[in-house]
Amino acid sequence: MSWTRCFRKASLQYFCKRLYSYGQSGNSWHGTTILSVRKDDQVAVVGDGQVTMGSVVVKPNARKVRRIGDDVVAGFSGTTADALTLFERLETKMEEHPGQLLRACVSLAKDWRTDRYLRRLDALLLVSDASISLTLTGNGDVLEPEGGVVGIGSGGPFAVAAARSLLQHSSLSAEEIAKNSMKIAAEMCIYTNAEFIIETIDTKKGKIQSSNHRPKST
């Protein structure tokens, strides 16, 4: 496989380093928390609802976690319009490579890095299906962190740390771990609130289950 920008099973240290460098490069990736937790036969993706403009909260219940088809869930951190543009591009790539999320993400990352228009888009994407969870950055990276946990946004490190601990020391389900980890992130990150939207995937069926907590508006 010649996908040199794809790092499968990347170490947690490398993943954090890449996200740190992305934040230091002048890109605005604060203002949200998206978390994906994979355990047993379930994958949970959860995002908060707070939208911040400078020091002002302009919306408390935005929808940052969305479905792509019946088997993929994606969340974004960054500029909303840019993220939605990337969502549309990812949907197109998935139509070109049905059932191959990794290949679709690598193709999108290549375009994102090389296309004159796309390279200006300011966002991070977290994408999960029944078999894999990935983070896409504007640097052209497609990362699959180890341990079944991945988070993006300003509260991502808090949520990931909490989720990794709960995975090792509790019998909670993926959805319960995701909820509790996001609560901790919301308490510690001023750009994250507790208005969560959660989508879960049944890894046996390969399909998205009904979410049980949605914001009042999108």
Residue 59: count of CB within 10 angstroms of its CB: 14
Q: 172: which strand partners?
A: none
Q: Which segments of the chain are extended strands (E)?
A: 6-10, 33-39, 42-47, 51-53, 56-59, 65-68, 72-78, 123-128, 133-136, 142-145, 149-153, 197-202, 207-209
CA distance 128 to 43: 8
- Active-site hit among 32, 137, 192, 200: 32
The answer to whether residue 79 is catalytic is no
Residue 81: count of CB within 10 angstroms of its CB: 11
Annotated active-site positions, please? 32
